[in-house]
Amino acid sequence: MISTASTEPATLSKKAMLSINNLQVFYDHAVEAVRDVSLEVGGGRIVALLGSNGAGKSTVLKAISGVLYPEEGEITGGGVSFAGKAINKLPAHEIVRLGLVQVPEGRRLFDTLTVEENLLMGGYVRPSSESAETMDSIFKLFPAIEAHRNRVSGYLSGGQQQMVAIGRALMGKPKMLLLDEPSLGLAPQIISEIFQAIRKLRDESGLTVLLVEQNAQLALSVADYGYFMERGRVVLDDTPQKLLANDDVKEFYLGVQEGGERRSMRDIKHYKRRKRWLS
Domain boundaries, the chain: 10-108+174-240, 246-279
Q: What pLDDT, on the 0 to 100 scale, is given for residue 12? A: 36
Q: What is the pLDDT of residues 3-35, one digit of tens each?
A: 554 434 333 345 889 999 999 999 998 999 999
The larger pLDDT score, comparing residue 3 to residue 100, is at 100
Looking at domain 10-108+174-240, which CATH architecture does it have?
3-Layer(aba) Sandwich (3.40)
Per-chain mean pLDDT for the chain = 87
Q: Considering the chain, what percentage of its residues have pLDDT values greater than 90?
A: 70
3-state secondary structure the chain: CCCCCCCCCHHHHHCEEEEEEEEEEEECCCEEEEEEEEEEEECCCEEEEECCCCCCHHHHHHHHHCCCHHHCEEEEEEEEEECCEECCCCCHHHHHHCCEEEECCCCCCCCCCEHHHHHHHHCCCCCHHHHHHHHHHHHHHCHHHHCCCCCEHHHCCHHHHHHHHHHHHHCCCCCEEEEECCCCCCCHHHHHHHHHHHHHHHHHHCCEEEEEECCHHHHHCCCCEEEEEECCEEEEEECHHHHHHCHHHHHHCCCECCCCCECCHHHCCCHHHHCHHHC
